[in-house]
A and B are shown apart, each in its own frame.
Chain A
Amino acid sequence: MSLTKVSLSNVVLKQYRYKLKAYTGVFMALMVVQVIGILLSIAGGGSGSFSNNVYTLDVTVSSSSLVIVLTMIWAFMNAILMTTKSYREDDFTFVSNRLSYNLSNMVFLLTACIIGAATALLSTGVIRILFYLIHDVDIFLTLTYQVAIGDYFAGALATLLYILLAATAGYLVGMMTQFNKRLIILLPVILVGLNYVVQSNANPGFVNILKFYFMEYSFTVFLLKAIVTILIGSGLAILLSNRLEVR
């Protein structure tokens, strides 16, 4: 029998398509997580009150922020799970090497995150309707911002990038622990160490890390920061897993 030549992209594509069929649980989990997020958003909402001596304003704010945060956690968790042994064994049943395994995982995660971001953004409508139906309010204000289409897309992309950042973090953490179980203990140490490195006299380190992303108001710079982080994280994960033994 003659050897079959292979192209990496071909195998990655096949694995990716296989994963779309195999990992439906990921999307079911997304659904459950987002439904929980929607219900929590309606129940709690962000609220505040404001008072002058004419009247007291009782405010309930609805937004899809919580759904997005939950989707980020979902992405983080799923990325970790995808690095685990049981998922990996599924992969290496058929043709695969570490690189194609990682690349197809990443393409799959990217797809899942795009879907997650899209559904998270779409949940705004549901939240708004349920909010309207459930809360007995005097003033229902839906139009708070005059958002330019461009800004809206920037925001949607930023949402996706946040979810991707969470997924990358999860994937890297997962790969580290797969690579060596002892790295689980090392992880908090690294975080605390990083905390010291980036702390300033005004803020502890982790606040600075959060600020690095969350307080970046320039879309271009945020895009750059997020993409570079994602690339570094994915690259590290690939490097780590390249020495990983499977099955």
Chain B
Amino acid sequence: MAAFLSILPLIFIMIIILWLVAVNKRLTRKSLTLRQSKLIFVGYISFLLIATVFSLFLPSSEAKLIKNLTLREDMTDNLFMKAQQGGFSSIDQQRISQSWEFPYTGDSLTLSSDYYDEGILIERTNELKGKIEVYFIKDWQALGVNSVSMDVSEYTPDMDVEMTSDTLMVVSPEEELIIELAFSELAFPMKQMIGESQFGHGYSSSGSRFFYIRVPQDLQIEFSEYLYVDYVNN
């Protein structure tokens, strides 16, 4: 039954085309002479040709393609790793998308989050007294569509943090971030001959972003187990 339902639209289309083709003979009987038909068809082909030429100049640069995923420097040279090794100050300031400062005098701090389950780095430092610094660092975001990867860092959402008494809450943006992506792919015979799978598309994403939280040296930090929290090695 399911198989039948799936070919139903195809049958429907076939009937429509049959009707078109059959009626066409009757329609053209009166209205179209050989010359007119020729003219129309030549027009159609030239339209297709012109459109093809134009399509070559469509701006495809909107996608920042990553030619080779492994070679990109800021991906291999992971910021998280760098910061963990104590190299936070050497991180390009542009990479820090947001920062917050909270006055805090308590003995212990609880970390929590709504959906966020990525990296949180904590640096205990003597430099801070009675305050906490929070930085959100967008490391990199790559989106793979089939065999193509592109950089979609700019679409990484901005996060928010809230401080309530002794809890630092990481809040994801209320609205889900949606990336509208359109791409044209090869027709099925082309894909078949190139050996690409004909069914479905492969999407992959990889990337990293993390919070870097600087706290006074002796602050007690608590967090639920599903948070991935690490400390900077000093």
Which A residues have a C-beta under 8 Å from some C-beta of B?
21, 24-29, 31-33, 36, 45-46, 48, 50, 52-65, 67-68, 70, 73-74, 76-78, 81, 119-129, 131-132, 135-145, 147, 151-152, 154-156, 158-159, 161-162, 214-217, 219, 222
Are A63's CB and B184's CB within 8 A?
yes
Are A33's CB and B17's CB within 8 A?
yes
Flag the segment in B77-85, B94-102, B145-153 that touches A: B145-153
Are B181's CB and A78's CB within 8 A?
no
Are A81's CB and B148's CB within 8 A?
no
**Chain B hits for A126, CB < 8 A:** 47-48, 51-52, 55
Are A155's CB and B17's CB within 8 A?
no
Are B62's CB and A125's CB within 8 A?
no
Is B221 part of the contact surface with A, judged by Cβ < 8 Å? Answer: no
Query: What's the count of A-B pairs with C-beta under 8 Å?
Result: 262
Is B103 part of the contact surface with A, judged by Cβ < 8 Å? Answer: no
Bound: A180/B116 CA distance, A = 70
Selected A-B contacts with CB under 8 Å, 14 pairs:
A24-B28, A31-B44, A48-B203, A56-B178, A59-B203, A65-B188, A78-B21, A128-B184, A136-B180, A141-B63, A141-B182, A142-B60, A144-B183, A156-B190
Interface centre among B62, B150, B184 (most CB of A within 10 A): B184
Which of A21, A48, A162 is B189 in contact with, Cβ under 8 Å?
A162
Shortest Cβ gap from B178 to chain A (Å): 5
Shortest Cβ gap from B26 to chain A (Å): 9
Are A147's CB and B115's CB within 8 A?
no
Are A29's CB and B156's CB within 8 A?
no
Is B176 part of the contact surface with A, judged by Cβ < 8 Å? Answer: yes
Are A58's CB and B60's CB within 8 A?
no
Which of A25, A57, A145, A159 is B25 in contact with, Cβ under 8 Å?
A25
Interface centre among B53, B65, B145, B195 (most CB of A within 10 A): B145
Are A155's CB and B18's CB within 8 A?
no
Q: Which of B46-70 contact A (CB under 8 A)?
A: 47-49, 51-56, 58-60, 62-63, 65
Are A141's CB and B183's CB within 8 A?
yes
Q: Which chain B residue has the least Cβ–Cβ distance from A120? A: B187
Which B residues have a C-beta under 8 Å from some C-beta of A?
13-14, 16-18, 20-22, 24-25, 28, 32, 34, 37-38, 40-41, 44-45, 47-49, 51-56, 58-60, 62-63, 65, 115-117, 141, 143, 145-148, 150, 152, 155-157, 172, 176-196, 198, 200-201, 203, 205, 207, 209
Tell me whether chain B's interface is mostly helix, strand or loop, or mixed.
mixed
**Chain B hits for A58, CB < 8 A:** 178-181
Shortest Cβ gap from A27 to chain B (Å): 5
Are A140's CB and B192's CB within 8 A?
no
Are B181's CB and A141's CB within 8 A?
yes
**Chain B hits for A33, CB < 8 A:** 17, 20-21
Are B186's CB and A155's CB within 8 A?
yes
Bound: A126/B116 CA distance, A = 43
Interface centre among A50, A143, A216 (most CB of B within 10 A): A50
**Chain B hits for A140, CB < 8 A:** 58-60, 62-63, 182-183
Which of B48, B53, B147 is A145 in contact with, Cβ under 8 Å?
B147
**Chain B hits for A151, CB < 8 A:** 190, 193-194
Which of A57, A61, A68 is B185 in contact with, Cβ under 8 Å?
A61
Bound: A215/B54 CA distance, A = 33
Are A70's CB and B143's CB within 8 A?
no
Bound: A129/B58 CA distance, A = 7
Are B38's CB and A52's CB within 8 A?
no
Bound: A129/B51 CA distance, A = 7
Q: Which chain B residue has the least Cβ–Cβ distance from A155? A: B190
Are A217's CB and B184's CB within 8 A?
no
For the complex of A and B, list the 10 residue pairs with the smallest distance between their C-beta atoms, beginning with the closest. A155-B190, A125-B52, A141-B183, A158-B189, A125-B55, A142-B60, A24-B37, A50-B203, A122-B48, A126-B51
Bound: A127/B200 CA distance, A = 20
